[in-house]
Structure 1
Amino acid sequence: MGERLLPRAERRRRTEGRILDAARALFAEVGYERATVRAIARAAGVDPALVMQYFGNKQALFQEAVRMTPVPEPGLGAEELVETLLGTLNLKMGELPQSTLAMMRSMLTHPEAATSAKETLDGQINRLAEAISGEDARLRAALVTMIMVGVTVGRQLLELDELRGASPEDIARLLRPSLRALTGPEAS
C-alpha cells in the first residue's frame, strides 16, 4: 500500500517515527549542541518546519528522542523491546543538554522538578507496561525504567569511572540479560 493511501493518522505516526529515528541517530553521533533541526529534518526526509510543527523546538524533540522508554510498536516481541531500550543508551551516554542535566540534578531536591520527573517516568512506565505481559507488568516496567535512569545518572551526574570508561555497547551487552528477564514472558 502506498504511503498516500494510508490513513492520515498512520502517515503522521510514520513521519513522526522517521523524525525521531533521525534525531536519535544525529544526537548520538554529534551531541545535542551540534545537532540541528535542519540536519535532523534532512535525515528524516522532511521539511524543518514539519519537525517544529510536530515537536515545537529542539529541546522538546530531544526529550522525546531520549525518553527512557520509547513507545513500543504494537506487537513488539520481548527481544525487540529489549533492543529498543538498549538502543537509547547511545543517547543517554552522550552529551545531554544543560536543561536535562539540571532537571536530573534537581529531581531529588526540588519539589517541582520531582513532580515533573515523576510524571515523565510514570508515563514511560505506563507505555512499557503495555508492552510487557503478566500481572506484575507495571512493577517490571518500573524496574526496567529505573535501571535505565540509574545508568544515566551514574554516568552523567555522578561520573562513575566504571560507567564513564565503558562503551554503550559494553553496557548494553551486560544489561541485556537483566532486561530480557524483566520484559520477557518467563518473568511472569
Structure 2
Amino acid sequence: MPDLTPSSRAERRRSTERRILDAARGLFAERGYERTTIRAVATSAGVDPALVMQYFGNKQELFRRSVHTPLDRSADGLETPADLLLATLGVKLAGLPETSLAMLRSMLTHPEAAEAVRAGLNTQIDEIAEAVAGEDARLRAALTVMLMVGVTIGHQLLDIEALRDASPERIAAVLRPAVQALIEP
C-alpha cells in the first residue's frame, strides 16, 4: 500500500486545515453557528481544540472560512463572470452544499454568524467586482450576489413551488439576462 501521509510540513498543515474545515462545515450545517463549539469541531477533526484556535483564531473566523466558496475562474467552458455565477448557482440548487446550509441556517439568528457571513459575502462581492468592468462595479457585484442568495433561499429553504419545479438549468437560463445586465454592461 502506498504511504498517503503528507510528506512536508506545509502539506501536513494544509491537510490538517482541510480536516478542520470539513469538520466545521458538517457541524455548522447540522447544528448551526450557536450550537457548534470549537471543542466539537476539534473532536470531529481528530485534533486538539488549541490547534483549531491556532489555525483560525476564533469561532467566527472558522465559520467565515468554512462557508466561503471562492470562485473557480479556471472552470472549463465558463467564458464570462455571468457563466461562472450561474454555474455556481446551479450547483447550489442541485444540492445545497454544507457550507451554504450552514450559512443559511445561522446568518439570521446569530449576530456573530451574521458578521461572518457578511464578511464572506463581501469577499465574494470583491471577487466578482474585480471581474466586472465599468461604473458601480462593486454595487452591481453586490446585487448579483444577493440575487443568487435570494434564489438559493427560495429554492432550498422556502421551497417556493415555481423554483422547486424548475430545473437548475432552466433557472440559470431565465436568470442569465438579468445577471449579464448586472455584471456585463
* 1:109–1:136 Cα change, 3 Å: same
Question: Which is higher, the Rg of structure 1 or of structure 2?
Answer: 2
**TM, length-normalised to structure 1:** 0.59
Alpha-carbon distance, 1:101 to partner: 2.0
Report if the CA contact (8 A) 1:66-1:92 is conserved: no
Counterpart in 2 of 1:138?
138
* 1:145–1:97 Cα change, 3 Å: closer
Report if the CA contact (8 A) 1:155-1:164 is conserved: yes
Q: Structure 1 unaligned runs (5+)?
A: 1-46
Report if the CA contact (8 A) 1:155-1:163 is conserved: yes
Counterpart in 2 of 1:70?
71
Q: 1:53 pairs with 8, 11, 15, which one?
A: 15
2:177 is the counterpart of 1:177: yes
Counterpart in 2 of 1:96?
96
Alpha-carbon distance, 1:99 to partner: 6.2
Q: Structure 2 unaligned runs (5+)?
A: 27-64
1:88 partner SS: helix
* 1:154–1:119 Cα change, 3 Å: same
Q: Within 2, Cα distance between the matches of 1:64 and 1:99?
A: 6
Alignment of 1:33-44 (within 5 A): none
Report if the CA contact (8 A) 1:125-1:145 is conserved: yes
**TM, length-normalised to structure 2:** 0.60
Report if the CA contact (8 A) 1:93-1:152 is conserved: yes
2:105 is the counterpart of 1:105: yes
Letter in 2 for 1:125: I
Counterpart in 2 of 1:168?
168
- Percent sequence identity over matched residues? 46
Report if the CA contact (8 A) 2:67-2:102 is conserved: no
* 1:98–1:89 Cα change, 3 Å: closer
Q: Within 1, Cα distance between the matches of 2:95 and 2:178?
A: 26
Q: Within 2, Cα distance between the matches of 1:152 and 1:120?
A: 16
Counterpart in 2 of 1:119?
119
Letter in 1 for 2:161: D
Deviations, residues 87-125 of structure 1 (Å, cap 9, x unaligned): 112321133355642431221221011001100000000
Q: Within 2, Cα distance between the matches of 1:54 and 1:145?
A: 31
Name the Cα RMSD after superposition: 3.2
Report if the CA contact (8 A) 2:66-2:99 is conserved: no
Q: Within 1, Cα distance between the matches of 2:71 and 2:86?
A: 10
1:56 partner SS: helix
Alpha-carbon distance, 1:65 to partner: 9.7
Alpha-carbon distance, 1:179 to partner: 0.8
